[in-house]
Amino acid sequence: MTAEPLIDTDITPRTDGTDERRGRFARLLDSDIMASFLASKLTVLAGFVTFAFLIIALFAPLIAPFNPFDPAQVFLIDARDPPIWMAGSDPRFLLGTDDQGRDMLSALFYGLRVSLLIGGLGVLLSALIGVTLGLIAGYAGGRIDALIMRIADIQLTFPAILIALLVDGVVHALLKSGGREDTAFGVMVLSIGLSFWVQYARTVRGSTLVERNKDYVHAARLIGLRSPQILWRHVLPNVLGPVLVIATINLALAVITEATLSFLGVGLPPTQPSLGTLIRIGNAYLFSGEWWIVAFPGITLAVLVIAVNMLGDWLRDALNPRLR
C-alpha cells in the first residue's frame, strides 16, 4: 500500500519573509498557537483522547485487570464471554472475552500499547530515513538528488504488504528459524518504516531547496561550516515543522497499515496481539453475533486515528501562518 500523498501537499513551509532565524518548531510554543488549540473544543477533545490513550498504553501492565500476553493466565474455557451488561457474562470481564478467553479490556490496553509502539517506532524510522535522504537530496542536488528521487520512485511501486512479506522473509532467512514472536515486532516496524519514508524525503527535499538558497546558509558556508553541520544546525530546524505534521498523521496511518498487514497474514502473532491483530481475529465473529470481539478494538482504533489526525490537522493549520 502506498499511502504516500494522503496528506495535503501544501505543508512545505512558505516563506513569509519574517522570522527566518526562528524555526517553526520554536514557534510551536508560541502562545498564539496554544490559543488556537484551546479555541477549538474538538481539538481539545482530540488532544485529551490522544493523551489518555498514551497514558493507557504506557501503563497498560499496571492498569489492566489481566495480562493477556501471558498464555498461562488465559483460559480457553472463558472464551467468547459477552460484555458484562449482557446475559451470560462473567463479572470478571467488563467487556467480555475473545475467542481464546482473553479479557477484552486488558487485550485492548495491551493492544493499544503494541499498536502505538509499532506505529511510533515505524514513524520514527521512516522519518529518520526520509529526512536524512531529503536533506541530502535537497542540499546536494544534481546526481545525488536524482538518484535519491529515483529510489523514492522505486519504493513507491512496492506495496507495504510486499515490503512486509519481503522483510519478514529476509529476517527469517537470516535468523534461521527464529520464532515469530521474537521477530514479528521488528519486522512490522521495519516494514512500516520502509513503506512511508518517501513523503518525508520529498517534503524535506522541497524545503531544503528553498532554505539552501537563503542568506543564512550562504553565510554559514562562507564562515567555513561544513555541509553536515549546516544541514544539522541550520537547515534541519527549519524543516521540522512539516515533518512533525506528516509524522502525526502517519502515526495513524501506520497503525491502520499494521492492521491491514495483520489481515493479510503477516502481522503480529496472535499470542501478543496489537489492535490490528485483535480486529483481524474479531473480524471472523462479525456475523456470528459475538460482535464485541471486533467492535471494541475497531472503535478504539477509529477513535485513536481520528483523534491523532485532528491533532495533525490543527498542527498543520497552526504551523502555516497563512491559514490562520
Partner 1 sequence: MTFSWSRPITKIRKLALLSSLGVGLIASTLAGEAANAKTFRFAFQGELKAVDIYALKESFSLGVLSNVYEGLVRRNAEMKLEPALAERWETIDPLRWRFYLRKGVKFHNGEDFTADDVLFSVDRIRTPGSDLKANLPADLVAVKVDDYTVDFVLKTPNPLLIAEWETFSIFSRKWAVANGATEATSASATTPPYAALHANGTGPFIIVSHEPGVKTVFKANPNWWDKPKHNLDEVIFTPVTSSATRVAALLSGEVDWIDPVPVADIPRVESNPGTMVAAGPELRTIYLSFDQMRPELTGSNVKGKNPFKDVRVRKAFYQAIDVETIKTKVMRNLATPSPVMIAPALFSKYNDFKRFPYDPEASKKLLAEAGYPQGFEVTLDCPNDRYVNDEAICQAVVGMLARVGVKINLLAQTKSKYFAKILASGGYDTSFYLLGWTPATLENYNVFSNLMMCRDEKGKGSPTNLGGYCNPKMDDLVNKALVEPDPAKQEAMYAEAYKIALFDDVGYIPLHQQALAWGMSKKIKVPQRPDNYFIFAWVNKE
Partner 2 sequence: MLAFILRRLGSAAIVLIFVGVLAFILFRYVGDPVNQMVGIDTSIADRDRLRESLGLNDSVIVQALRFLGHAAMFDFGVSYQFKRPVAELLIERMPATLELSLISALLSLVIGIPMGVASALGKDRWYAKLLQAVSLAGISLPTFLIGILFIYLFSVTLRWFPSFGRGDTVKLGTYWTTGLLTSSGLRALILPAMTLALFQMTLIMRLVRSEMLEVLRSDHIRFARARGLPARSINFRHALKNSLVPVITVAGLQLGSVIAFATITETVFQWPGMGLLFLQSVQNVDVPIMAAYLLFVAAMFVAINLVVDILYLAVDPRLKTTSKAH
Can you give the binding site for partner 1, defined by CB under 8 A?
A: 70-72, 74-77, 79-80, 99-101, 169, 176-177, 179-182, 265-266, 269-271, 283-290
Binding of partner 2 at residue 194 (CB under 8 A)? no
Q: Please say which residue, 1 or 293, places its beta carbon nearer to partner 1.
A: 293
The count of residues interacting with partner 2 (CB under 8 A) is 57
Q: Please say which residue, 5 or 265, places its beta carbon nearer to partner 1.
A: 265
Please, what is the minimum distance in Å from the beta carbon of residue 81 to partner 2? 23
- 296 near 95, Cβ under 8 Å? yes
CA pair distance 178, 301, nearest whole angstrom: 30
Residue 98, SS3 per DSSP: coil
Residues paired with 97 in a beta bridge: 103
Binding of partner 2 at residue 323 (CB under 8 A)? yes
Part in contact with partner 2 (CB under 8 A); list of ranges 95-103, 118-126, 226-234, 261-269: 261-269
- 275 near 297, Cβ under 8 Å? yes
The rounded Cα 118 to chain-centroid distance in angstroms is 7
> Residue 158's binding partner, choosing from partner 1, partner 2, none, with beta-carbon cut-off 5 to 8 A by kind?
partner 2
DSSP state of 40: -
- 257 near 192, Cβ under 8 Å? yes
Binding of partner 2 at residue 290 (CB under 8 A)? no
DSSP state of 122: H
Please, what is the minimum distance in Å from the beta carbon of residue 171 to partner 1? 12
Please, what is the minimum distance in Å from the beta carbon of residue 70 to partner 1? 7
The rounded Cα 217 to chain-centroid distance in angstroms is 32
The region that residue 75 occupies, defined by phi over 0 for left and psi between -120 and 50 for alpha, beta otherwise, is beta
CA pair distance 126, 203, nearest whole angstrom: 13
Part in contact with partner 2 (CB under 8 A); list of ranges 61-69, 114-122, 155-163, 223-231: 155-163
Binding of partner 2 at residue 210 (CB under 8 A)? no
Rounded to 10 degrees, the C-alpha dihedral 217/223/226/228 comes to -40
CA–CA distances in Å: residue 177 to residues 163, 174, 187, 261, 269? 20, 9, 14, 21, 15
> Residue 270's binding partner, choosing from partner 2, partner 1, none, with beta-carbon cut-off 5 to 8 A by kind?
partner 1
Footprint of partner 2 on this chain (CB under 8 A)?
1-10, 40, 42, 146, 149-150, 153-154, 156-159, 161-162, 165-166, 168-170, 172-173, 202, 209, 252-253, 256, 259-260, 263-265, 276, 279, 283, 286-287, 294, 298, 301-303, 305-306, 309-310, 313, 322-323
